[in-house]
Chain A
Amino acid sequence: MTKQYEFPSKGLPYLLVLPQMAVVFVFFFWPAAQAVYQSFFVQDPFGFSLIFVGFENYTKLFADPAYWDSFGVSTVFALSVAFSSMFIALFLAVQANRKMRFSSFYKTMLIWPYAVATMVAGVLWLFMFNPNVGVIAWFLAKVLGIKWNHLLDSGQALLLVSIAASWKQIAYNFVFFLAGLQAVPATLVEAAAIDGAGPGKRFWAIIFPLLSPTTFYLLVMNLVYGFFETFPIIHQVTAGGPGTSTNVLVYKVWRDGVINLDLGSSAAQSVVLMILVIGLTVVQFRFIERKVNY
């Protein structure tokens, strides 16, 4: 039985949440409503001419193969970022969780990239992989004989932004995995060891299932990151190119709205994105938080 505090008056609780709701309303609901409203119009940037077009912005969007491409690219990108950064982070967390010298030093170093601004992370990787003057590109070409040119090779471009985005996210995942690992009761692991289970067996049969809430939480967070928060990296490293091969959904919204001033289409795209985020959140709350347990 949880202890509940009774408010003396009925109005007080509402009054107390009012400031928070006001902020949410001004910064979230109002712009979201605006986006929905504007997605039914085409308009000039200055707002002199506003033409109602119904669902035309949407039909145009979904009839445009470039938009479906963008959807595909975003999905591939988000999935590869989520899986590679989670896999590497889990591996590192397991290694760092052992008793050893300098372990807090390693942990600090592994968390460090998270403090790097996303934009700066993009610039770092761009410098190293610059096909003309980058260190890694030079190494690939001269030593391994691999021609690196992400300016023209779509696959390499997607790989590069995925690496840059994952690198940054590894630190974030690492913190959560490490915390998750430390919460695994040592007694269980020791008991398994006494029963003769090797390190691999102990990991897959005991530790990994116990980590599943963390893993699923991170999966959703990483997908959200991959879909919606990687804008600075794309902007800095490829600007959506070559062609449209790294033109992910968030980047396209921004370009069409802010640079190309096509407000109607941009609004329609942001409504689509909004529905996606709502969907992911619902999955997280309804499905994962309830079904995943041990």
Chain B
Amino acid sequence: MKRFFMTAFTLVLIATAVFAEPVSVDFWHAMTGKNGEIVQAVCDKFNASQTDYKIVPVFKGSYSDTMNAGIAAFRAGQAPGIIQVYEVGTATMMAAKGAIKPVYQLMAENKAKFDPKAYIPTITSYYSTSKGEMLSMPFNSSTAVMYYNKEAFKKAGLDPEKPPVTWPEFFDYAKKLKASGMEGGFTTNWISWIQLENFSAWHNQSFGTKSNGFDGLDTKLVFNTPLTLKHFQTIYDLSKDKTFIYGGRENKANPLFSSGQVGMHFESIGGYGSMKATCKFEFGVARLPYYADVKGAPQNSIIGGASLWVFNGKGKPEYKAISEFFAFISQPEIQAFWHQNTGYLPITKAAYELTKSQGFYVANPGMEVAINQLLNKAPTGNSMGIRFGNFNIIREIEDQTWEDILAGKISVKDGLDKMVKDGNEKLREFERLYK
């Protein structure tokens, strides 16, 4: 009897060796709905493509929930292999040097296929050191664009194929749209990301010093310039007769546009799909307007979205699995699949070319507008991206102050100065932690 067990045990041992379980790596993400399904599909494709590794996507809630879960798990020694972190968390992840494994190191150590030059520079720069070392893998990237209601344009006697190019033209169009009987002219989402961060990059102006924080933690906000003041003052003045309507924080202004109350709107290209699903009229996508009298404008816009970070302290097989997965998702076919199904931008030039050759942009011209806007010029220190610690709270201060400006509690000038002053305090708090 004893012998029987011994034999059985040995057989089991042999069996496990032969049919070895693949190395499994958890991938925590924050993609909901359709995008969540595409994440699953991408992982399934990877798992089916080979037998050694298995990537297990786990939905962890909102961006901040996911990041918090990751931080808590790391502190408890239970971190997943890969975690998706939104762009405002980038500086926090970067500063946590002991917690992360830089992607460029990971790829080199595991000799995975990796060519930093294959990626679109405006996207990778957001997640790279100033020396160009990629710290995290760009995943879902978007940028801010203008959406406009083509039918409303026709009604107001405007050419639906000629969206406004400069801000003065834009404001003029907005007044005409309102005069044509609409509830208002325009609205915008994400006041900080679109009207301050992208606005600065697009005009090649500094949002913060030290290349928007890329060159050091001793960065300061400097966006309270005459240009921003002019821009915000104009929007504020237009809010009085409802040419501009405020729709709320984050992407809460979308219903104003999709219900046809305003004719023009600013939103992420990542929202293209849901815009298509909710708008019962034909709409167009155009580049962000600019002030023509600013030298160097338009420059290029910056990205939003999230990237994939790898936690420190995992075993060699796990790192091998992750590096293979990153190489896999960088392939043009996978990128094109991701891009075309989610609306997020492709992260490699090859994926863009592939999508173009497939004729995708003929049916979806808005997507190409966004990519061209990102690629408009080689990024400068003002347009590589934003790297601030405590960035989330800085954006919150900007949201709150913007609401106070619109409610008439504070003047536009004092409001912008307050955003800069309070924001700088938060930057100093962050700097102190990492000295």
Q: Which 4 A-B pairs have the closest CB atoms?
A: A242-B403, A260-B393, A46-B96, A243-B404
Given contacts A46-B71, A255-B396, contact A152 B247 (CB under 8 A): no
Please determine whether B96 and A48 come into contact, CB atoms closer than 8 angstroms. Answer: yes
Could you tell me if A42 and B432 are in contact, using CB atoms closer than 8 angstroms? yes
How long is the Cα–Cα vector from A240 to B68 in the complex, in angstroms? Answer: 21
Q: Who on chain A is nearest to B254 by CB?
A: A132
Listed A/B pairs (9) with beta-carbon separation below 8 Å:
A42-B432, A44-B95, A45-B96, A51-B433, A132-B247, A243-B400, A243-B404, A258-B68, A259-B393
B71 and A239 within 8 A (CB): no
Cβ-defined contact, A46 with B75, below 8 A: yes
> Scoring A residues 16 to 56 as 1 if CB is less than 8 Å from chain B, else 0, what string do you get?
00000000000000000000000000111111110100000
Beta-carbon contact of B433 and A43 below 8 Å: yes
CA distance A127 to B55 in the complex (A): 40
Total inter-chain residue pairs, C-beta < 8 Å: 85
Is A281 close to B, CB under 8 A?
no
Q: Name A133's contact: one of B75, B249, B259, B434 (CB within 8 Å).
A: B259
Complex contacts, A229 vs chain B, CB 8 Å: none
- The yes or no answer to B268 lying at the interface (CB within 8 A) is no
Q: Does B12 contact A (CB under 8 A)?
A: no
How many chain A residues touch B (CB < 8 A): the figure is 28
Contact A261 B92, beta carbon cutoff 8 Å: yes
Residues of B235-278 whose CB lies within 8 A of A:
245-249, 252, 255-256, 259, 261
The answer to whether A154 and B68 touch across the interface, beta carbons within 8 angstroms, is: no
A interface, over-half SS: loop
Smallest beta-carbon distance B60→chain A, Å: 13
Q: Does A130 contact B (CB under 8 A)?
A: yes
Contacts of B98 in A (CB 8 A): 46, 48
Contact of A152 among B261, B396, B407 (CB under 8 A): B407
Contact residues, B65-107 vs A (CB, 8 A): 68, 71, 74-75, 92, 95-99
Q: Is A197 at the interface (CB under 8 A from chain B)?
A: no
- In the bound complex, residues from chain B placing their C-beta under 8 Å from that of A133 are 255, 259
Q: A152-B407, A243-B403, A262-B393 are in contact. List 12 more A-B contacts (CB 8 A).
A: A42-B433, A44-B433, A47-B75, A51-B433, A151-B247, A151-B252, A151-B403, A152-B246, A243-B404, A243-B407, A243-B409, A259-B392
- The SS class assigned to the B binding surface is helix
A241 in the interface, Cβ–Cβ < 8 Å? Answer: yes
Q: Which of B389-427 contact A (CB under 8 A)?
A: 390, 392-393, 396, 399-401, 403-404, 406-407, 409
Nearest CB of chain B from residue A134's CB, rounded to whole Å: 10
Q: Which residue of B lies closest to A153 (CB)?
A: B407
A241 and B247 within 8 A (CB): no
Would you call A241 and B249 a contact (CB within 8 A)?
yes
Inter-chain contacts of A259 with B (CB < 8 A): 64, 392-393, 396
Are B390 and A260 in contact, CB atoms less than 8 angstroms apart?
Answer: yes
Within 8 A of B (CB), among A258-281: 258-262
Q: Which residues of A contact B396 (CB under 8 A)?
A: 255, 259-260
- In the complex with contacts A44-B433, A241-B400, A154-B249 CB distance below 8 A: no
Cβ–Cβ < 8 Å partners of A256 in chain B: 393
Q: Is residue A84 contacting chain B, with contact meaning CB distance below 8 A? A: no
Whether B429 sits at the interface, judged by CB under 8 Å, is yes
Q: From A149, which residue of chain B is reached at the shortest CB distance?
A: B246
Q: Which of B48-71 contact A (CB under 8 A)?
A: 64, 68, 71
Q: Is A244 an interface residue (CB 8 A)?
A: yes
| Residue of A43, A152, A153, A258 with most partner-chain B CB within 10 A | A152
- Contact string against B for A residues 130-141, beta-carbon threshold 8 Å, 1 for contact and 0 otherwise: 101100000000
Cβ-defined contact, A44 with B96, below 8 A? yes
Closest-by-CB residue of B relative to A42 is B433
Cβ contacts A241-258/B at 8 Å (1 or 0 each): 111100000000001101
Residues in A neighbouring B99, C-beta threshold 8 A: 46, 48
Known: A151-B247, A243-B409. A46 touches B74 (CB 8 A): yes
Chain B residues with CB under 8 Å of A45's CB are 71, 92, 96
Chain B residues near A244 (CB, 8 Å)?
400
Q: Which residues of B contact A47 (CB under 8 A)?
A: 75
Q: How far apart sit A259 and B406, CA to CA, in the bound complex (Å)?
A: 25
Asked if residues B433 and A242 are in contact (CB atoms below 8 Å), the reply is no
Chain B residues within 8 Å of A243, by CB: 400-401, 403-404, 407, 409
Chain B positions within 8 Å of A260 at CB level = 390, 392-393, 396
With beta carbons under 8 angstroms apart, the residue of A51, A130, A239, A258 that contacts B249 is A239
What distance in Å separates the Cβ of B191 from its nearest Cβ neighbour in chain A? 12
Q: B140-184: contact bitstring with A at CB < 8 Å (1 yes, 0 no)?
A: 000000000000000000000000000000000000000000000
- A253–B404 Cα distance when bound, in Å, is 22
- A255: chain B residues at CB < 8 Å are 396
CB distance from A247 to the nearest CB of B (A): 8
Q: How far is the CB of A120 from chain B (nearest CB, A)?
A: 18
Q: Are B261 and A132 in contact (CB under 8 A)?
A: yes
